[in-house]
Amino acid sequence: MRLVLVGAALLGVTGCATPPTTSSSGDDSRLAAAERLIDAFYFFEPAPLRAALADAPESAPQIVYYQGWAEGGNYAVVSRKPCRLASADEVSCDITVRDDLIAALGTGYWVTDTFHLTFRDGRIVKVRTTSNDPPDFEKALDWLKGERPDLMTGPCRGFFVGGPTPQDCVRAVVKGFAAYRAAKALTK
């Protein structure tokens, strides 16, 4: 009987205590929406991706283009961390991928892309990406623009701003990166 009374007393004391901090349902819904966008992106499902971007019209051309680029560049997820709240209105999602671009450069490591999703009234209103591309990535891209300027008016027309052929573009860039690597090896 004493055990029951002690247990009841403890329940009464803990019942008055402040409950542990947990995420709100708004936080949960933003995190779930972010995870759905990432699923659509890396499963290469354009219709769900466009639906997720319905309230982010300024971001949609770049993100949809990037999805085509990722598919054409054979992005494969190596590591995907759960999306996290970065601030009151932003969710960030880190995804490490292996792809044909970095393989062509021969850098020996894989890139982590971070998606930054801005929310307003529970809706995704902006999406931007950042990555830890190796320095050779930008150097190779600059070299390619100088050595093969027709690439930017051909398959890479509209490069990351909603161009029509992101998959053709990335495949051409992969070949160009291999040429850059070979030219760089010749100058050593």
User: Model confidence at 114, in pLDDT bands (50, 70, 90)?
Assistant: very high
CB atoms near residue 81 (< 10 Å): 12
Mean pLDDT of 139-149: 94
Rounded CA separation 98/113 (Å): 11
Read off the pLDDT of residues 57-97 as tens digits, 9 standing for 90 and up. 999 999 999 999 999 999 999 999 999 999 999 999 999 99
**Residue 100 in this model has a pLDDT that exceeds 70:** yes
**Residue 135 in this model has a pLDDT that exceeds 50:** yes
Rounded CA separation 116/83 (Å): 10
Any idea which of 2-11, 120-129, 171-180 has the lowest mean pLDDT?
Answer: 2-11
Helix, coil or strand: residue 66: helix
Which tokens hold the place of 134?
């190796």
**Residue 13 in this model has a pLDDT that exceeds 90:** no
Site of tokens 């450069």: 105
The amino acid at 100? D
% of the chain with per-residue pLDDT over 70:
87
**Residue 178 in this model has a pLDDT that exceeds 80:** yes
Question: What's the whole-model pTM score?
Answer: 0.83
- Helices 166-186 and 135-147, interaxial angle, to 10°? 100
Cβ atoms of 105 and 134 closer than 8 Å? yes
Q: Domain ranges for the chain, please list them.
A: 25-186
The amino acid at 23? S
CATH domain 25-186 topology: Nuclear Transport Factor 2; Chain: A, (3.10.450)
